[in-house]
């Protein structure tokens, strides 16, 4: 049996309804995540955690500066040593990026929650 245009249209509408329900669920999850995150960011435990993360970022920066200085001051151009420092630099830079993402995460969740609240309000209306 061949599908008709009506069958196609009905299947398409069902897909749109399913996607809309999924989007609404996603928006509700984001709106529910923001208030606990706001409470978390106001706690002294969170501030202590942030101080530890910030100290680790500063340690990464210090290591990176040392590695760059070592590359500049190495008159031998020892390729093996330079390659080793480059690999370590890449690892430390990735670690620093991950830690910076940790610092930015609560603010991002709060921001996305506010955006989701507005989108959900517009979506429901």
| CB-based contact 92:64 (threshold 8 Å) | yes
Instruction: Report whether pLDDT(83) > 90.
Output: no
pTM for the model: 0.62
Q: Please name which of 98, 115, 106, 114 lies closest in space to residue 45, comparing C-alpha atoms.
A: 106
For the chain, the 3-state helix, strand and coil shares in percent, each to the nearest 5, are: 90, 0, 10
Average pLDDT, the chain: 80
Domain count of the fold of the chain: 1
Tell me which residue range forms the domain holding 50.
5-124
Instruction: Report whether pLDDT(65) > 80.
Output: yes
């Amino acid at each position: 049996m061949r599908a008709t245009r009506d069958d196609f249209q009905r299947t398409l509408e069902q897909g749109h309804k399913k996607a809309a329900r999924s989007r609404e669920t996603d928006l509700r999850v984001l709106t529910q995540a923001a208030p606990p995150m706001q409470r978390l960011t106001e706690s002294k435990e969170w501030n202590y955690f942030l101080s530890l993360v910030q100290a680790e970022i500063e340690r990464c920066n210090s290591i990176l500066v040392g590695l760059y200085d070592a590359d500049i001051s190495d008159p031998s151009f020892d390729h093996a040593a330079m390659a080793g420092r480059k690999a370590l630099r890449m690892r430390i830079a990735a670690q620093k990026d991950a830690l910076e993402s940790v610092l930015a995460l609560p603010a991002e969740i709060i921001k996305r929650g506010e955006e989701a609240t507005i989108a959900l309000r517009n979506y429901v209306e």
